[in-house]
Amino acid sequence: MSDTSIHDGDAGPGPERVDVLVVGMGFAGMYVLYCARQRGLTARAFEAGSDVGGTWFWNRYPGCRVDVDSVQYSYHFSGELAKEWRWTEKFAAQSELLRYCNYVAGRFDLRRDAKFNTRVTSAVFDDETNLWTLRTDKGDVASAPYCIMATGSLSTPYRPPYPGIEDFRGDWYHTGTWPHREVSFAGKRVGIIGTGSTGIQAIPVIAREAKHLTVFQRTPQYTSPARNRPMAPGEQEAFNARHDDWRDEAMQTFNAITDYPPPTRHHHEDTPEERRAYLEGRWEEGGMPQAMLETYKNVAVDEAANKVVADFVRDKIREIVEDPEVAERLCPPEDLPIGSKRPPIDTDYYETFNRDNVTLVDIKSVPVESITADGIKTGDVEYELDAIVFATGFDAMTGSLLAIDIRTGTGASLKDAWSDGPDTYLGLMVAGLPNLFMINGPGSPSVKANMIMAIEHHTDWIMDLLDHLREHGLDRIEAQKQAQDEWVEHAREVAEATLMPVADSWYVGANVPGKTRVYMPYFGGFDRYVKICEEVVADGYRGFR
Ligand code: NA7
């Protein structure tokens, strides 16, 4: 069994042999380690960051917070753990989420099997010994029969390659790699590029601090109020009291989130007045899941229904934003279905554009040309800035996996397997790469669900599979190509029956030039996905060899 003598930060230990290798120590990697230990497996995890937390370790930008209710966006494998932790807000801020990760890591002594400050560079499978070997940038070499990629869906930041960044005399930041120190914008002229979920969280907060904030917007977004608030007295206790029932209930929902009224009608069942009143109610209520997307049953699939809700939000923008020209610039275009980009929820986003110290610049009509020593140049205009914030997103879902040279000794590689898009079987495995698993991989509900619930589901499913292999004396499992092709086709059909793949979003990889356009998350629903995974098992691991 293993020599688990690696400590945090040690460089270049000798080869290590364990049962399970884990890449990443965010929510997913931590749970994989916990489960491996519970099942008597030895494990070694590697993490590029200096500590646990993943997304919540890296994304420390102003305003960063979760947009699924904190009590639901938590681990649920242990009712006891749920009882020990108390969330302070409906939507916890990044610092609180990171404290939670630290608490869990300490509570279950998870750091013991993890090596931090260490990036995995390659993963190679030996077809003769059935072992994966990981190599890291610190010289580590570790082998195991199984390798689990817990690399996160949004963990490889994307920054547009504007020329001139090296000339900029001020400070610049990417929201996804925010410094681990206080960043003050007081008295500064700040420019922010990007108005996705991240920009929408950061803009109101930076605007309150900076001398001036210039927002560089390519595509206007539909956003709706989060209505974040402190947790009410007794609210956490009430949730804890129904914890196990809640978990069962959540497993049977589309996105593993409950306590929001599900849509009960189609838009055409209401008169225009009824629609207005109903949508007003939903707007007032705020929060997720999927914000205004899940108001009428047919918003995701029917253009007319989608337009009703999109028009409602455009009217809201015109109502909130005082300068009519700015309001029009903030209105998403008619050909962008609401919900086709990831629906953000916000606190005072549109209101922020009423501030005297905020300017909105449209970089769709006049794109950014370059970064200069003094700021950002678009066409004939140069905006003078002391700091630039890139809120320009991620090479989502595949970026972190493809950054690792994943291959077999006989020459199959993940890069080749995914040259036409990220084909997977159930988002869990890739044909041709035995004994390699992904948590929240492309082709699984992942970013369309409560990620923590999806993490626990995948991990439990994989652990059961490893038990099954051990019980049957099998040392190798692989997705069958045909089963994978069928899954990919099913996932494509499900997505294409909706308006979701229409937008140039990170869901389809359109934000990264050259990336194959495929709707990557499984949009068939978490409940349906869980059921399919159960059927696959009941059918003797159908589709696996
Ligand atoms: P997103 O949602 O990908 O948003 C990135 C923003 O940056 C978006 O407004 C983009 O405009 C803009 N962007 C990206 N590339 C460029 C270039 N080259 N030029 C100008 N503007 C650009 O990332 P977030 O970090 O906000 O959110 C990611 C997820 O994290 C979020 O959905 C949650 O799930 C958590 P575009 O819309 O592409 O025109």
**16 by DSSP, 3-state: which?**
strand
Residue 106 has pLDDT above 60, yes or no: yes
Which residue's C-alpha comes closest to atom 29 of ligand 1?
A: 197
Which residue's C-alpha comes closest to atom 36 of ligand 1?
A: 219
Residue 11 has pLDDT above 80, yes or no: no
Per the CB < 8 A criterion, the answer to whether 99 and 238 are in contact is: no
Q: What does DSSP assign to residue 539?
A: T
Instruction: Return the minimum-mean-pLDDT range out of 13-22, 97-106, 320-329, 336-345.
Output: 13-22
pLDDT band for position 18 (cuts 50, 70, 90): very high
Q: List the beta bridge partners of residue 133.
A: 124, 143
Q: What would the mean pLDDT of 128-157 be, rounded to a whole number? A: 97
Q: What would the mean pLDDT of 406-429 be, rounded to a whole number? A: 96
Q: Which of 203, 338, 511 to mutate to test the pocket of ligand 1 (most atoms within 8 A of CB)?
A: 511
Q: What does DSSP assign to residue 293?
A: G
**213 by DSSP, 3-state: which?**
strand
In DSSP notation, 46-85 reads E-SSSSS-THHHH---TT-B-SS-TTTSS--S-HHHHHH-
Residues recorded for the chain = 545
Taking the centre of ligand 1 as the mean of its atom positions, its distance from the CA of residue 129, in whole angstroms, is 43
Q: What would the mean pLDDT of 327-338 be, rounded to a whole number? A: 97
Helices (H) and strands (E) in the chain, counts: 16, 20
Q: What is the spatial distance between Cα 120 and Cα 526, in angstroms, rounded to a whole number?
A: 30
Q: What is the spatial distance between Cα 497 and Cα 487, in angstroms, rounded to a whole number?
A: 15
Q: pLDDT by residue (tens digit) across 180-191? A: 999 999 999 999
Which residue's C-alpha comes closest to atom 24 of ligand 1?
A: 393
Q: What is the spatial distance between Cα 420 and Cα 269, in angstroms, rounded to a whole number?
A: 42
Q: pLDDT by residue (tens digit) across 252-311? A: 999 999 998 889 999 999 999 999 999 999 999 999 867 899 999 999 999 999 999 999
Q: Where in the chain is the domain with CATH 3.50.50.60?
A: 16-52+117-156+412-538, 165-231+258-390
For the segment(s) 165-231+258-390, the CATH number from 3.40.1440.10, 3.50.50.60, 3.40.50.620, 3.20.20.70 is 3.50.50.60
Q: Which of 165, 198, 340 to mutate to test the pocket of ligand 1 (most atoms within 8 A of CB)?
A: 198
Percent of the chain with pLDDT over 90: 95
Using the atom order of ligand 1, give the atom closest to the CA of residue 390.
7
Residue with tokens 């077809």: 127
CATH 3.40.50.1820 fits 16-52+117-156+412-538, yes or no: no
> Which distant-in-sequence residues (6+ apart) come within 8 Å of 139 by Cβ?
11, 12
Residue 79 has pLDDT above 90, yes or no: no
Q: What would the mean pLDDT of 233-249 be, rounded to a whole number? A: 94
Around ligand 1, the residues with Cβ closer than 6 Å are 154, 160, 193-199, 218-219, 342, 363, 391-394, 447, 504, 506, 511
Please list the alpha-helical segments (H only) found in 397-473: 399-402, 414-417, 451-471
Please list the alpha-helical segments (H only) found in 232-360: 235-241, 243-251, 272-285, 303-320, 324-330, 349-352
**Prediction pTM value:** 0.96
Q: What is the spatial distance between Cα 375 and Cα 316, in angstroms, rounded to a whole number?
A: 33
Q: pLDDT by residue (tens digit) across 494-543? A: 999 999 999 999 999 999 999 999 999 999 999 999 999 999 999 999 99
SS (H, E, C) 497-521: CCCHHHCCCHHHCCCCCCCCCCCCC
Q: What is the spatial distance between Cα 240 and Cα 222, in angstroms, rounded to a whole number?
A: 33
Task: Report pLDDT for 289.
Answer: 65
pLDDT band for position 14 (cuts 50, 70, 90): low
Q: What is the mean pLDDT of the chain?
A: 95
Task: Report pLDDT for 290.
Answer: 75
At residue 456's C-alpha, the angle toward residues 455 and 458, to 5°, is 65
Task: Report pLDDT for 383.
Answer: 98
